[in-house]
Structure 1
Amino acid sequence: MAEGGFDRRLIAPMILGSVLNPINSSMLAVALIPIGRAFDVSPAQTAWLVTGLYLATAVGQPVIGRLVDAFGPRPLYLAGTALVGLAGLVGAVAPDLGVLILSRVLLGFGTSAAFPASMALLRAESDRTGRSSPAGVLAALSASAQVTAVVGPTLGGLLIGLGGWRLIFTINVPLSVACLVLGALWLPRRPRAASGAGTASGASGASPAHGTSGGGAARGAIDVSGIALFAVTLTAFMLFLMRPRPSGWYLVVITLAAGAAFALRELRTADPFIDLRVLRGNGPLLATYLRQFLAYTTSYAFLYGFTQWLEEGRGLSASGAGLLLLPLSLSAIAVTAITGRRAEVRGKLLAGSLVQVAGVAALLLLHVSSPVWALVAVGAVIGVPQGLTGLANQNAMYAQADPERIGSSAGLLRTFMYLGALAASAADAAVFPRGATTTGLHHMAWLLVGTAVLFLVTTLADRSLARVGRQDEDEPGRAAEDGPAVTAEGTSRR
């Protein structure tokens, strides 16, 4: 690398690690029907392969993000990517659905490390070089994840056609090895000194990637009770959503009780797992998390629901469904390539939400005899918001988050993404209780139209987005136009 410049050796391990989750998420879309047939289980049961991954990821992202803030990105990156390889081996030899779900849970935890580690590395590099938001690197990370996610169904279909559904688990082994080699070679072992020009965030002292927190966090001070209550809240809520019925009332009670206890715990502890005091004062960041949830609820429900309908309702093979979704991949890649280096976010979010509404509404026009061109067109339209919203939300989070908690803030952004995926999984299980029928597809479409409209409304209402990416000093942690930024202590600054 050039002295004082961004260390470009970091890009390869960051990108490769960041694609592990989207590749595993999207490849499974075409494998649910073959797996269900192999183990003789229904779509409602195979939905737990989706839910298991996302429950683990929703909990794992902020947990590992907090560990990254405390111990630095290198050890968490290496441990997480090693776990991905183990999970791939377990899935490749799984004798039943239960073991396969276990492998997906391991994948969820393993793939949770790379994104918060990457955000921490970027923040450390900004501090070291004295330069502001590395928009090009952020765009590369987001683009790689977006491209992988949308190419995943096509790749998964090809792998299944070549050697069966177990290949989509086996592929994690070489990916894990590559991450471990690149990470061991190039990730820094200790904090790097900031350049004489100062830091991009305006903070002094050690890099936040290595554990200093404005809230006085000590290295290794992990809120185990908060983590446990967060996990119980999410798990109970998802168990209810997967089969909502009056007899499941006790799950609602557990969710409310654990959620209340979690909130009280986080507000009272000196070093919380999720600093609700910071979130409470940072309206723009909260709005970004909400948009992340809404966007990915729609995106993942479409990905899994539409793909299952193509295979079961329309009668396509897994490889055929994957190939039919290739235009979705191409449109998402094209949009990301065209817009990726532009840091402004409001226009991307508005355009993405409008196209998303149109795309999911088009599902209402489909039936088993719809021509192939119509199926291709729907996928191509849905690819446009997938190429816009992920990068826009990531850039917004980077600008809005407190720089000394960038790892945990990035992890929380991914948590809301996977909360959306969990909601999508529950929605697909609800509309396809006994198979992926056209009626179920249309029910799903109405749900997604409502979700996409809400995403559009929240984007229109958030005036603060106009400033993100347009500031002369793109300083992370500054709130946008309508609100003060909030530090880890919970105080505001203009």
Structure 2
Amino acid sequence: MTSPTGDNAAGTVSGPAFDRRLTTPLVLGSILNPVNSSMIAVSLIPIGLAFGAPPSETVWLVSGLYLATAVGQPVVGRLVDTFGPRRLYLAATTLVGLAGLLGALAPSLGVLVGARVLLGLGTCAGYPAAMSLLRSEARRTGQHSPGGVLTVLSIANQTTGVIGPSVGGLLVGLAGWRAIFAVNVPLSIACLVLGSLRLPREMPPPAADADTDAGTAEGLDVPGMALFAAMLTTLLLFVMAPSGARWFLPVLATACAVGLVVRELRVPDPFLDLRVLVGNAPLLRTYARQTLCYTATYAFMYGYTQWLEDSRGYSASQAGAVLLPTFGTAVVVSLLTGRHPELRGKLVAGSLALTATCLLLLVADAASPLGLLVVVGVLCGVTQGLVGLANQNALYLQADPSRMGSSAGLLRTFMYLGAIAASAAVAAAFPRRASSAGLHHLTVVMLACSVLLLLASLVDRSLGRARVAAAQA
């Protein structure tokens, strides 16, 4: 436990120190979402066999969680901004445990999809709560990035998403696919215990001031939240299964979007402060890069693992083992670059590594040597270790501190917009089985995203200014 005052690198007293007791619950809560997002990758084939469902149906296990998360992250983030992180953290992690138990006992694919939706909602609070508490500690201690914990949080989130398939493969190999749901029960209990003991009971939300009702239910823009949820839900339902017969979904999404804009421009304390958001071009570009990156990387995670199992004949645990180089590389790259303030360089290098990954996948087939598969994993690990980390650090510098929770939630929303687009692309590429031809079609989508990500990183001049600001803070 740290003392009320802390020492700087030179050993002189510099003021209050970051409360490092917060680190474990913040990291554990924030990784619940990426670990549940990625563990399912190696379980889709076994679950499909158990329920007699093709990939076009089991993909809803992916899309259901992402839909709930994409809608829920900014909503829960705004609740964190309003009420503080502790209550939201504890309530949401309780829901994670209940959803894990439901999934472990699910008698049908429909119930299993429902459990995944609940998991998506339950894992929404960890990351916004962590970012909000980091901002609070930064104000309390006078440190820009308290104790380097922002880097620890970034590394934990990036690498957990990569190790998820390997952990999932191990759990499936040891106890079957239901284990990837059951593991949420002890994780939830750990979050509840650590959160109850270590998270501050009272933290005045940064949005609170004399002119608003922040911190109370009266200060919430519930109609704005409802319009946002309806807009995103109808839009994503259409994107996940586009067809002429579902023409009404984009129409409803457009109507909700118009209503949301009108609503948010009229209320004094909107759910989405559109004036500030539209005026913050660097932050909007960060959101766009997040979508491009995760469309490609989640297409790789779900498409590549299914291809390894279906076309290469690997078991779930073997497919997870093949992805271990991705995890190892992501960890090493994140550790080596995490504290460096450079943003554009990380994004460009990550984009180039993603492009190289796609070029190798275009020539991969069922007879490709294991060495090629290892190189593919290493290159994707470089992307995982650089791009998400750079985008999160950019958001921390670019977002309004009073809306850090909702801004962080939106970063996750844009990440899962990419994930939903990726799951739709996987379903289209693998209508019946994960063939090599389907993998190549999927890779074309990934390659387009990687090229756009590279261009977006090269032309964004604000990244250089953000690097300077980080270095000076």
TM-score (norm 1): 0.90
Alignment of 1:463-474 (within 5 A): 463-471=461-469
Question: Using the alignment, how far apart are the partners of 2:472 and 2:153 within structure 1?
Answer: 18
Q: Which residue of 2 aligns with 1:311?
A: 309
Q: Which residue of 1 aligns with 2:73?
A: 61
Given the alignment, which residue of 71, 74, 84 partners 2:83?
71
Note the C-alpha offset of 1:474: 5.7
Note the C-alpha offset of 1:255: 2.1
Letter in 2 for 1:172: N
For each residue in 1:176-205, what CA deviation from the matched residue of structure 2 results, as whole angstroms up to 9, or x when unmatched? 1001110000100113xxxxxxxxxxxxxx
Helix, strand or coil for the counterpart of 1:470? Answer: helix
Question: Using the alignment, how far apart are the partners of 1:213 and 1:144 within structure 2?
Answer: 33
Helix, strand or coil for the counterpart of 1:35? Answer: helix
For each residue in 1:96-135, what CA deviation from the matched residue of structure 2 results, as whole angstroms up to 9, or x when unmatched? 0111011111111111101111111111111111222337
Structure having the higher helix fraction is 2
Q: Which residue of 2 aligns with 1:152?
A: 164
Q: Which residue of 2 aligns with 1:480?
A: none
Helix, strand or coil for the counterpart of 1:365? Answer: coil
Note the C-alpha offset of 1:259: 2.1
Is 1:423 matched with 2:421?
yes
Given the alignment, which residue of 327, 330, 334 partners 1:332?
330
Cα distance change of structure 1 residues 161 and 226 upon mapping to structure 2, 3 Å threshold: same
Instruction: Answer whether contact 1:146 1:332 (CA < 8 A) is retained.
Output: yes
Alignment of 1:101-250 (within 5 A): 101-134=113-146, 136-191=148-203, 208=206, 211-212=207-208, 216=212, 218-219=214-215, 220=217, 221-250=219-248
Question: Using the alignment, how far apart are the partners of 2:123 and 2:359 within structure 1?
Answer: 33
Identity %: 59
Q: Which residue of 1 aligns with 2:257?
A: 259
Alignment of 1:242-391 (within 5 A): 242-391=240-389
Given the alignment, which residue of 419, 430, 437 partners 1:432?
430
For each residue in 1:269-304, what CA deviation from the matched residue of structure 2 results, as whole angstroms up to 9, or x when unmatched? 222221111111100011111111111111111100
For each residue in 1:44-100, what CA deviation from the matched residue of structure 2 results, as whole angstroms up to 9, or x when unmatched? 111111111011111111111101111111001111111110110000000001110
Helix, strand or coil for the counterpart of 1:369? Answer: coil
Question: Using the alignment, how far apart are the partners of 2:436 and 2:297 within structure 1?
Answer: 19
Bigger drift between 277-286 and 372-381 goes to 372-381
Alignment of 1:437-456 (within 5 A): 437-456=435-454
Question: Using the alignment, how far apart are the partners of 2:81 and 2:469 within structure 1?
Answer: 26
Bigger drift between 376-385 and 246-255 goes to 246-255
Instruction: Answer whether contact 1:343 1:469 (CA < 8 A) is retained.
Output: yes
Note the C-alpha offset of 1:377: 1.3
Note the C-alpha offset of 1:409: 0.9
Q: Which residue of 1 aligns with 2:44?
A: 32
Runs ≥4 residues deviating over 4 A: 472-475
Instruction: Answer whether contact 1:83 1:106 (CA < 8 A) is retained.
Output: yes
Cα distance change of structure 1 residues 473 and 366 upon mapping to structure 2, 3 Å threshold: closer
Q: Which residue of 1 aligns with 2:104?
A: 92
Question: Using the alignment, how far apart are the partners of 1:253 and 1:423 within structure 2?
Answer: 19
Note the C-alpha offset of 1:227: 1.8
Q: Which residue of 1 aligns with 2:459?
A: 461
Note the C-alpha offset of 1:213: 6.0
Question: Using the alignment, how far apart are the partners of 2:30 and 2:163 within structure 1?
Answer: 15
Helix, strand or coil for the counterpart of 2:433? Answer: coil
For each residue in 1:414-462, what CA deviation from the matched residue of structure 2 results, as whole angstroms up to 9, or x when unmatched? 1111111111111111111122111111111111111111111111111
Letter in 1 for 2:115: S
Question: Using the alignment, how far apart are the partners of 1:148 and 1:435 within structure 2?
Answer: 28
Bigger drift between 370-379 and 241-250 goes to 241-250
For each residue in 1:365-389, what CA deviation from the matched residue of structure 2 results, as whole angstroms up to 9, or x when unmatched? 0111111111121111111010001
Q: Which residue of 2 aligns with 1:196?
A: none
Instruction: Answer whether contact 1:135 1:341 (CA < 8 A) is retained.
Output: no
Question: Using the alignment, how far apart are the partners of 1:213 and 1:226 within structure 2?
Answer: 21
Letter in 2 for 1:52: G
Cα distance change of structure 1 residues 307 and 128 upon mapping to structure 2, 3 Å threshold: same
Question: Using the alignment, how far apart are the partners of 2:210 and 2:418 within structure 1?
Answer: 30
Helix, strand or coil for the counterpart of 1:469? Answer: helix
Letter in 2 for 1:116: P
Paired positions, count: 459
Cα distance change of structure 1 residues 229 and 188 upon mapping to structure 2, 3 Å threshold: same
Bigger drift between 222-231 and 33-42 goes to 222-231
Question: Using the alignment, how far apart are the partners of 2:339 and 2:79 within structure 1?
Answer: 30
- What are structure 1's unaligned runs of at least 5 residues? 192-205, 476-494
Question: Using the alignment, how far apart are the partners of 2:52 and 2:336 within structure 1?
Answer: 44
Question: Using the alignment, how far apart are the partners of 2:455 and 2:209 within structure 1?
Answer: 35
Helix, strand or coil for the counterpart of 2:160? Answer: helix
Given the alignment, which residue of 5, 29, 32 partners 1:20?
32
Note the C-alpha offset of 1:391: 1.0
Letter in 1 for 2:44: L
- What are structure 2's unaligned runs of at least 5 residues? 5-15
Instruction: Answer whether contact 1:333 1:387 (CA < 8 A) is retained.
Output: yes
Question: Using the alignment, how far apart are the partners of 1:461 and 1:367 within structure 2?
Answer: 35
Note the C-alpha offset of 1:395: 0.6
Note the C-alpha offset of 1:344: 2.1
Instruction: Answer whether contact 1:238 1:426 (CA < 8 A) is retained.
Output: no
Instruction: Answer whether contact 1:10 1:186 (CA < 8 A) is retained.
Output: yes
TM-score (norm 2): 0.94
Alpha-carbon RMSD: 1.5
Helix, strand or coil for the counterpart of 1:19? Answer: helix
